[in-house]
Structure 1
Amino acid sequence: MALQQGWPTEDLQFQVNNDIRGLVNSVNDGSTSAFMWEWFTTKPFADAGSCRFIGQVPTPWPSWLIAAHPTRAAPSDICAFLNGLSGYVRTFASPEHGAGPSVAFIQQTFGYPEDDVKAWLQAVAYPDDCAEIPAHVITDTLAVLQKAGVVTAPQGEIDLGQYVDVSIAKLT
């Protein structure tokens, strides 16, 4: 957000509050000024008056990405996982599931009202193949993290193979 707003980023300080309840509590006790969290997860707290929604800041990267340590998981296991996950994601995101079973699952799991679940499902997009990563996701994320001082820019051209095992994932 600081980068998007043109604010200085050299002296940013963050307080770790662990989870959404910790964030809401810290704002209410004054130890945190504000927090950023996904809208539909925060909405029940805003609806209950525990916090107030003041705006939104779209991230320059997807909300979810799967990461695995290269020496702790066999490539074949990761491929099998991503293949299976892709099937589940396609089913979950399908129109017939989005109109019934997926809504019911989210309602039962998270306790969200049906209208909020339906609005959330209309606002999100899912990949057809969880093993595909658009190359711009890596380059855009690295650019933001470099500007924020979290990572150092590599010398020369970015080698995307340094960040993605192309024997497992497909850069698109």
Structure 2
Amino acid sequence: MKKVNIGGVPEHFNLAWYLTLKNGEYKAEDINLRWHDYHGGTGAMCKALRSGEIDIAVILTEGIIKDIIAGNPSKIVQTFVETPLIWGIHVADHSKFKSIEDIKGTRAAISRYGSGSHLMAYINAKNHNWNLDTDLNFEVIKNLNGAIEGLSNDEADYFMWEKFTTKPLVDDGVFRRIGNCPSPWPCFVIAVRNEFIENSEDDLKTILDIINQTTSEFKSIPSIDRTIANRYEQELGDVQEWLSLTEWSQDIIDEKTINNVQDQLLSLDIIPKKVDYSELTHKL
């Protein structure tokens, strides 16, 4: 049986992977797919792809594009979630900051440099015409738990993370959300190490066929909203809103989208240059 390691964030976007694993669908095809949770998000997964700790990652589009350009030996093989990620902009409940303008020039908590929380802080700054050199400061907090501690202890001032994941913390009075910042592109893609693509393309196709079948039917799974609410400790109404806003994809990310992401990252000095579509993607 072929052992394959895959990584992703332990969030509701990835429930389809859990369901297919629970049903034994990969084992039925002689593939031992092992899921690994990455609480540190994109930066941690980029590191794991580079080291060979994982073969496949379900990862933020902008983060993996940046890292492939920086030398990560991987390619994007398809879009996983077509719709943008809605990043909530959070402060501690006791914070004096009330609006996005109030946090200009303060300290953004980020999971690590090169992570989604880092890159989206630049997007938010650009959206509000801030000076990218003087109005952005960063404190590395590793993960969501680090952000709770950092904001509560005034070690950082604001934190950007997926709106619905952090909603229970807003409801509990840990964070206050002062705004939202949707990503200007499809949020999650599936990236695979080049070595795995070259040596195991048939297994990769099988894995994608299985997950794509499930995501194409995901919203029609009976009581899926209740399953998500229970598993991720979210309010049913929030889950239903999230489901109404979210669309999965079974297709390769197109060249126009790749160019848009690169244009934005280049304008923010997050990447040093643009590269060809073929250097970032692999069509199966």
TM-score by length of 1: 0.83
Instruction: Give me the whole-angstrom Cα distance separating, in 1, the residues matched to 2:129 and 2:256.
Output: 22
- SS of 2:271's partner is coil
Given candidates 130, 151, 154, the residue that maps to 1:27 is 151
Instruction: Give me the whole-angstrom Cα distance separating, in 1, the residues matched to 2:171 and 2:165.
Output: 11
- SS of 2:238's partner is helix
- SS of 1:31's partner is coil
- SS of 2:126's partner is helix
Residue 190 (structure 2) aligns with: 66
Given candidates 160, 163, 168, the residue that maps to 2:277 is 160
Instruction: Give me the whole-angstrom Cα distance separating, in 2, the residues matched to 1:75 and 1:65.
Output: 17
Residue 148 (structure 1) aligns with: 268
C-alpha distance 77-148 of structure 1, shift in aligned 2 (>3 A)? farther
Given candidates 216, 219, 229, the residue that maps to 1:90 is 216
Residue 123 (structure 1) aligns with: 245
CA contact (8 A) 1:145 1:151 kept: yes
Asked whether 1:113 is paired with 2:235, we answer: yes
Matches within 5 A, 1:50-65: 50-65=174-189
Unaligned segments of structure 2, at least 5 residues:
1-123
Deviation at 1:39, TM superposition (A): 0.9
Deviation at 1:71, TM superposition (A): 1.2
Residue 81 (structure 1) aligns with: 207
Instruction: Give me the whole-angstrom Cα distance separating, in 2, the residues matched to 1:148 and 1:82.
Output: 33
Unaligned segments of structure 1, at least 5 residues:
none
Residue 39 (structure 1) aligns with: 163
Asked whether 1:49 is paired with 2:173, we answer: yes
Instruction: Give me the whole-angstrom Cα distance separating, in 1, the residues matched to 2:153 and 2:256.
Output: 40
Instruction: Give me the whole-angstrom Cα distance separating, in 2, the residues matched to 1:49 and 1:40.
Output: 15
CA contact (8 A) 1:45 1:51 kept: yes
Give the paired residue count.
158
4+ long deviations beyond 3 Å: 10-13
Q: CA RMSD in A?
A: 1.8
Specify the code of the residue in structure 1 equivalent to 2:194: P
- SS of 1:6's partner is coil
Deviation at 1:18, TM superposition (A): 2.1
**Higher RCO, 1 vs 2 (CA within 8 Å, ≥6 residues apart):** 2
Deviation at 1:25, TM superposition (A): 2.0
- SS of 1:126's partner is coil
TM-score by length of 2: 0.52
* The structure with more strand, counted as a fraction of residues: 2
Specify the code of the residue in structure 2 equivalent to 1:62: P
Residue 9 (structure 1) aligns with: 132
Deviation at 1:72, TM superposition (A): 3.2
